[in-house]
Structure 1
Amino acid sequence: MSDRRTEYQRLRRATMWSVAGGALLPWVGLFWTATAPGPPPPWQLVVAGASAAAFTVVYWRAARITVTGTHARTEVVITGVLALVIFIMTREPEFAGAMAALAWGALAGLHVSRFTAALMILIATVACAAFQPHAVVFYAATISMVVWLNRFQFWFWTVVKASLEGRDAQAKLAVTEERLRFSRDLHDVVGHSLSAIAVKSELAARLASGPAAEEMLEVRRLARESLKEIRSVVRGYRTVDLNAELRSVRAVMEAAGISCALELPDTALGDEVSTLLAWLVRESSTNVLRHSAATRCRIKVASTGGWVELTVSNDHPKPPSGTAGSGLAGMSERVAAHGGALTAGQSDGQFTVRARIPA
């Protein structure tokens, strides 16, 4: 797990540094302006330099915010104002102003809407071409390429992040499956043997007399206590945190390119109900991954009137094969054993599994 975390942090830093390189463009323009013959008044250079420094800080902040998956709308507006100040304060707008506009246009590659990105590219291109109309195609192509590169880097980062989270979720699911398998084996093998010992010792106590009968009754007592302890341990192994299971399932879904929405009740659920719901969620999500080309999935848990209802729905289900699968049959049996009912079927391009069980 630590190796994956280190890999995650390294890729995150690499993405941020590669994107944040655009913040250096205003400094290139300022250096050109300051070293050109007949530079502007010092106060203009100071204002432009301060604006460039603020531009760099806000640009870096925008890159950090984008890596977390949120929108950097405020930072885009602030950097736009600072780029305009640099544009006005520099003597050579043909280059320095163009660099500031280009740097601001590069922010369109961050986590902004497509409309906002297109508008930013248009504004940056017009600003660059205002002083060099003959180079409008060059500036449009350059800004578009920079934006595309930034968007590609963030897309790649998103894919890698989803992959790492999916691997972690799969590892947690594997541990949970192993715990359940171990609990079944412990209950079936050891529990059966202890039950047999308790019955045999009771029979032997009836047939024997004196100290031998007392010893066999003690054996029966120890066997029953051990069986009780085994069942308690098995219940602990079989108890699964529903919220943790839902988070793991969502991570696996999103790693597979499926948007997963979760709706949970405000009231706490019992361990037995939570464990059953966690198992149903795991089985339903497996069906979504195996038997659909889903792009969206919705998992809702609602608690009303002494009943708990689980709904798992997804789009783009595959046509029914004509033979009932063992997965849904097993789910129905377990829900029925708990006193509930399960339904599943397609309607309006959606496949929905709905389970209703007593709380």
Structure 2
Amino acid sequence: MDKAIKRVRRVVYWTLNTTLGLVWFVLGIGLLAEQEAGPVEWWRLGPSVALLVVFSVLFLRVTRAILDRRYAQRELVAGAGIAVVVAVLGTGAPTSWSFVSFAWLSVASVGVRARTAWIMAVTTLVVMWPLNAYRMIEFTAETDPATRAGIVVGSFLYTALMCGTLPWANRLWVWIWHIAEEAHEGREAQARLAVAEERLRFARDLHDLVGHQLSAIAVKSELAVRLGGDSPASAEMAEVRGLARTALRELREAVKGYRQLDLAAELASVRGVLEAAGITCDLKLPYRDAPGETAPVFAWVVREAVTNVLRHSTATTCEITLRLTPEETILEVRNNGVQKDAVKNGEGSGLAGLAERLGAVGGKLTAEPDRKGGFVLRAVAPTAKEPALAGRP
């Protein structure tokens, strides 16, 4: 994680924790006002402050979990209980202690669907409004019906305002953080793909240029050996021929290593690229890796398929499924925004090259629109059978 994304994470972290700072600030003002009004009930204040310290620790854990894309359910459940207890037990103006419940709501509603966040907000309003109104009437010792009605209405407006603003402000900040994080991951994925493309280009050029020259040297030296007979020069040329063939073999092995793709790394890279382009990517993978011979071929299929999705479609979702059976390894890349003419014209698809690669391992490739208005690229290759051990029936 570079300095820029760390800085964004730190800003969002402290912004979320600002709500906790407001809790202590509001509580401090309430305690000062209570000391001026009369004696403090320490048997209520002491446990309330102790519980608030515990709530603060839980709150910090929750905010860290939010930035890690986790939902700290246990901490939030415990925090909800503490918020209700301190609202009932706390001394002085109830608006001070009820702010703990609003702080809880501000982080509990992050990481859930908008509908769930609204349910949480309404539930907090239903619980805290009557409690605030009752405690406020008790605190002010008002007996006038009109004044009590005003307190009830004011408590409702105050509670509704807090429940309707704090959660969405924090959700906005976390949304900004997620955008920054996904953009950063997308850039990293694009950089990895660019490096992989450059390695493949280098391997291809090395094989085409140097490999061709070494082949020519091997052929010419073999011809010189035949023409030279038993002369010392012929023996030297025979050694040159052997060196040329060895160098050519080693070059091909090195190029093969450069051209090899890793399926797991490719899946992770293309997922980052798709999501950076605004396309939701759903990976459905088995618990084990694809067989060794088919994995590099399927990595090429994934790369080419995702390239076509980015270049030749208006997709908003892309689903990549890998299934392993005792007989076959099956890869499907499905998107929902294909342009039908793209495949018919064959522009930039590279499907013929993929079919050749799959044919080399006994597989086959199909690419066609589905009935739902999407497009499915399907690669199937036979699962390699492991040779039986000696001595086994």
Same fold by TM (over 0.5)?
A: yes
Query: Following TM superposition, where does structure 1 have runs of at least 4 consecutive aligned residues deviating by more than 6 angstroms?
Result: none
Deviation at 1:100, TM superposition (A): 2.2
Partner of 2:373: 349
CA distance in 1, matches of 2:157, 2:114: 21
Q: Give the CA deviation at 1:233.
A: 0.7
Match of 2:265 in 1: 244
Deviates more, 1:173-182 or 1:67-76: 67-76
- 1:325 is paired with a residue of what secondary structure? coil
Listed one character per residue, the Cα deviations across residues 318-349 of structure 1 (whole Å, up to 9, x for unaligned) are 34345233422332233234432110111123
Shift of 1:15: 1.1
Residues 239, 272 of structure 1: 8 Å contact kept: no
Distance 1:269 1:119, change over 3 A: closer
- Letter of the 1:121 partner, please give it: A
Q: 1:318 to 1:191 in 2, by over 3 A?
A: same
- C-alpha displacement at 1:91, in angstroms? 2.8
Q: Give 1:204 deviation, angstroms.
A: 1.4
Aligned to 2:355: 332
Corresponding position of 1:97: 97
Change (3 A) 1:318 1:120: same
Structure 1 Cα separation of the partners of residues 290 and 114 of structure 2 = 42
Residue 15 of structure 1, aligned match among 12, 15, 18: 12
Q: In the aligned structure 2, how far is the partner of 1:40 from the partner of 1:287?
A: 71
| 1:1-359 pair list within 5 angstroms | 4-35=1-32, 36=34, 37-130=37-130, 131=133, 132-135=151-154, 136-209=156-229, 210-269=231-290, 271-321=292-342, 322-327=344-349, 328-347=351-370, 348-358=372-382, 359=384
Give the AA of the match of 1:187.
Answer: H
What letter is aligned with 1:221? G
How many aligned residue pairs are there? 356
Deviations along 1:261-294, one digit per CA (max 9) or x if unpaired, are: 3233455545553222111111111112223333
TM-score by length of 1: 0.91
List alignment gaps of at least 5 residues for structure 1: none
Q: Which amino acid aligns with 1:195?
A: S
Q: 1:96 to 1:186 in 2, by over 3 A?
A: same
**Aligned with 1:320: secondary structure?**
helix
Cα separation, 2, equivalents of 1:7 and 1:298: 31
Following TM superposition, by how much is the alpha carbon of 1:250 offset from its aligned partner in structure 2, in angstroms? 1.3
User: Partner of 1:257: helix, strand, or coil?
Assistant: coil
Residue 378 of structure 2 aligns to a residue whose secondary structure is strand
Structure 1 distance, partners of 2:61, 2:348, is 52
Tell which deviates more after alignment, 212-221 or 4-13.
4-13
Identical aligned pairs, as a percentage? 40
Question: In 2, Cα distance between the equivalents of 1:220 and 1:24?
Answer: 79
- Cα pair 1:48 1:90 within 8 Å, conserved: yes
Q: 1:167 to 1:92 in 2, by over 3 A?
A: same
In structure 2, runs of 5+ residues without a counterpart are 134-150, 385-393
Counterparts in 2 of 1:267 and 1:73: CA distance versus 1, 3 Å? closer
Separation in 1 of the partners of 2:100 and 2:285? 47
Deviations 1:4-29 (A, max 9, x none): 52222222221111011112333234
Structure 1 counterpart of 2:14, one-letter code? W
| Matches of 2:2 and 2:246, distance apart in 1 | 45
